[in-house]
Chains A and B, each alone.
Chain A
Amino acid sequence: MLSDQALAAIAAERRKYPADQARSALLAALRIAQEEHGWLPTELIEEVAQVLEIPSIQAFEVATFYTMYDLKPVGKHKLCVCGSVSCFLNGSDDILAHLQKRLGIGIGETTADGLFTLQEVECLGACKDAPVLHLGDQYLERLTPEGIDALIEQLRGGSSDVR
């Protein structure tokens, strides 16, 4: 499933680490695979493991640990709401509930129009501005239900610059 380009990129990552430590290149290799394919089906994870010559289960462990790896197809916008302690104490549950209601999907699901995926993730390291949401390469902080509504409208309107 991997293109020659992706294989070359993985090989380049592989060369950064000692010969007997292929596992070190796994994070990068999975990222390259996901960037190319959009998400990580089982066969792709297995292929990455084969390319790096490590047991499939090792690649599977890493792919299931990090929420930035998608094991299912995701929508255009992946809304990752932090549920760790600071955000939790500042109402992340309300934010998640509000999002579920507005989008009509549960956590881990994607809207029928393929626009939104909702996820709950672990600490994003922005506790001072809790509750926090992570979207693409942007952080949205001090979330409120009203702010969420505005965000959804904006994204539906076709803009992805939400800063």
Chain B
Amino acid sequence: MPHIEIDGRELDVAAGTTILEAARQLGIYIPVFCYHPKLSIAANCRMCLVDVEKQWKPLPACATPCADGMKIQTRSAKAKAAQQGVLEFLLINHPLDCPVCDQGGECPLQDITMGYANPHSFYQEEKRVVADKDIGPLIATEMTRCIQCTRCVRFGQEIAGVMELGVVGRGEKEAISTYVSKAVSSELSGNMIDLCPVGALTSKPFRYKARSWELKHTPSLCPHCSTGCNTDVQSLGKDVLRVLPRANESVNEEWICDKGRFAYAGLSAEDRGLTPLLRVNGRLQAASWGEALQAAAGGLESVVRKHGPEAIAALISPESSNEELFLFQALFRALGVTHIEHRLRQTDFRADAAMPLYPALNMSLEDLERERTILLCHAFPREQQPLTNHRLRKAALAGATIYAIDTVLRPFNFPVQGLCPETGDDLGTYRRLEELLQGATARAEEGALARLATALRETEDPLLLIGNDALQHPQAAELLRAIQGVATAAGARLGWLANAGNAAGAWLLGCVPHRRPGGETVPGQRTPSWSTAHKAFVLYGVEPEYDSLAVEAAQQALQEAEFVLALGHFTGNLPEQVQVFLPLASWAESAGSFINNEGRLQSYRAAVKPAGEARPGWKVLRVLADHLGVAGLAFNDLDEVQSAWQGALGDFPLDVPAFAAFPELAPEAAAPLPEGHLRLLGDWTIYTADPLVRRAAPLRRPAVCRMHPQDLQARGLGSVIELRRAGRPVVTLPVQADASVPRGCLWLPLGTAESVALGGLQSSCTVGRASSRQAI
């Protein structure tokens, strides 16, 4: 163990510790720009130069390992001269535009200049100017400010897993650039803004909105996926102006994805619901809370009187807080409603009895990094749980072998051995894998599957993770049972990648028809959510057409409903059958708690006041309960709601069996496709996954569908195609050739205007060459 001395203080450090790390252990500050603990060491800014005894030249502390007996001075005359020299050089070409720079006030270059620079410079020549680049709608560039620390370049290579930025040119012409003015597309790109130690990369949506010191910081959570990243919501007055990650090593380290960072832009969307609305003479008109609540209660009561409470379907978004979820089911269960549901992205519920207490990862996120063999079952965490995906990437870089079975091949940012059956028979793939694991002999064409079977058999305790697409599968029940079969045969552990921000909370707190809070079974037969047997619908934070897998069924069921009550944040995509709309405060405007994929309970506070007359969901539900005459929910503050749900739920385990016993599943034959039709596949994309992110203008990306190149060729299709389906408008979409899409199928991005127009994935469509490039 090297024994060293820094500024006269002695210390024993582990072999390999750098001077910088040792100094940090002692609490001695050494200024840095290019060094970052999560990135590789570049030592190119030279800001951390220190004076080491018996060394003629000062050494970079970030890249110099401690040797036994080293005596280091960080503030000697030599060290100071080196620091001043480096800063003088860095400032030669740095513009003096701090007053108009968004980084001003939170800029390491500004701070370190104040602390370490010689106020006089010898430089009298011209400064260089670097052409700005347009690298997309999220990151604003001011490349003249760049000091070439390469943190952004290393982040792309090492963390995001896609190298999009690089150092081009040489000497005076050196600059950070993308490849020939391409936009940066990584889902983690926003972190480069935080990493940039100067104002070269700043947030485009936040540009010139405020000075950093004016902002109020509120510790918050990201509501968009089940990783549960910790965030810092920064606001000025009534507006959320930006969202940054809050460091939590066990959850999101110090990163967040672009969805979590920029979705706040949707809060001020034009169609934000600011007042309660009532339908009068066929049109929604602003109303007072009193009128609206009365109408809501009246509408529900009349349906209960006429058809009984079973005729009400109460549907809630799994991005709601625990408090909202608990109150929602308590209110409607008290009314006698049985259909309480958060799973609109599932159509096959035959395996309900086998579902776990909640979709638990069954391990900590940090432990994911140490797995050796992982099989991703119909999962694409890169878009669905980006920071969970980051842990998987770390596992892969550390030598884990990661396999994926899915209907189409997904673009992961780490090496994945993907198995996508050409025939589209993904269910058969799992079943065959189980047979191989049980000792069946592999056929010649099954090489990849046989290798996977061998890998699973040879690894002690491999891990299977079940993703969003498994539940979205038309034969989800069989698929899940087949996955369980594989796990049993392989002796593997099973974990769920929970498919929505608070899916865990929704399950635990009874927002499914067959379970009460805590998992107690409710007996009885189920109807699908979008059934015409339901005469009234309560839509809480959901947009039926954009958030459902069964778009056509949703439209039909709503068409025949007698009463539709919507509670939500936006009015733009409200079905025309909605009679009453109650505006809800968003997650940034109210307090609450979420349970993440690990089972970690985390709470957040309100950052700003609710927009317009919107009110926090728990208050709205509580008052609605009053109007409906439901007793026992008269909570006066959020703490009371919290104690109520915690009392009802009790302690819940962090490790839960991934499946209970499966019920008997009757085989279902898929209907054959009409001649010439393509089967529709699809998934929500990262930026279409929920109502808020769909409205975030900076995150909007054009919808693109995908087809097998041979199908494209056989039909003579170009880069834009027309999708036709009986009784539906013709949809025009750009198409991309993708050899992993099974033949005879078309992959459609869901949650888009195009997928809604086409009626979702329920049946098939024909395609043709587009007559013009005009989209719908």
Hey, which bits of chain A sit against chain B, CB under 8 A? 42, 46, 55-58, 60-61, 64-67, 122
Contacts and interface: CB of A to CB of B under 8 A. Distances in A.
A70 to B, nearest CB: 14
B166 A61 contact: yes
Given A55-B179, A57-B163, A65-B170, 19 more contacts: A46-B179, A55-B163, A55-B166, A57-B164, A57-B165, A57-B177, A57-B179, A58-B166, A60-B168, A60-B177, A60-B179, A61-B166, A61-B167, A64-B168, A64-B169, A64-B170, A65-B169, A66-B170, A67-B170
B61 to A, nearest CB: 27
Contacts of A56: 179
B170 A60 contact: no
B162 interface: yes
Most-contacted residue by chain A among B165, B171, B178 (CB, 10 A): B171
Interface in B158-188: 162-171, 177-180
Nearest to A64: B168
A148 to B, nearest CB: 24
A109 to B, nearest CB: 16
A42 B169 contact: no
Contacts of A67: 170
A58 B167 CA distance: 9
A66 B166 CA distance: 15
A43 to B, nearest CB: 10
B168 to A, nearest CB: 4
A60 B171 contact: no
Nearest to A56: B179
Contact of B171 (A42, A46, A122): A122
Contact of A57 (B169, B171, B178): B178
Contacts, number: 35
A61 B168 contact: yes
Contacts of B163: 55, 57-58
Q: DSSP majority for the A interface?
A: helix
A98 to B, nearest CB: 22
A5 B244 CA distance: 52
Contacts of B165: 57
A55 B180 CA distance: 13
8 contacts: A42-B180, A55-B163, A55-B164, A57-B178, A60-B168, A60-B177, A65-B168, A66-B170
A122 B170 contact: yes
Nearest to A66: B170
Interface string B688-720: 000000000000000000000000000000000
A56 B168 CA distance: 12
A36 B581 CA distance: 69
Contacts of A55: 162-164, 166, 179
A67 B173 CA distance: 12
A54 to B, nearest CB: 8
Nearest to B168: A64
B115 to A, nearest CB: 32
Nearest to B170: A65
A55 B178 CA distance: 11
A58 B168 CA distance: 9
A91 to B, nearest CB: 19
A39 to B, nearest CB: 16
Interface in B455-514: none
A55 B162 CA distance: 8
Contacts of A66: 170
A60 B167 CA distance: 9
A23 to B, nearest CB: 11
A65 B168 CA distance: 6
Contacts of B169: 64-65
A66 B171 CA distance: 11
Interface string B130-171: 000000000000000000000000000000001111111111
Contacts of A42: 180
Nearest to A122: B171
B170 A57 contact: no
A65 B170 CA distance: 5
Contacts of A64: 168-170
A60 B162 contact: no
Nearest to B163: A55
A60 B164 CA distance: 11
Contacts of B162: 55
B188 to A, nearest CB: 16
A64 B180 CA distance: 12
B397 to A, nearest CB: 12
B148 to A, nearest CB: 12
A67 to B, nearest CB: 8
| Shortest 9 CB-CB contacts between residues of A and residues of B | A57-B166, A55-B163, A64-B168, A57-B179, A61-B166, A56-B179, A65-B170, A64-B169, A60-B179
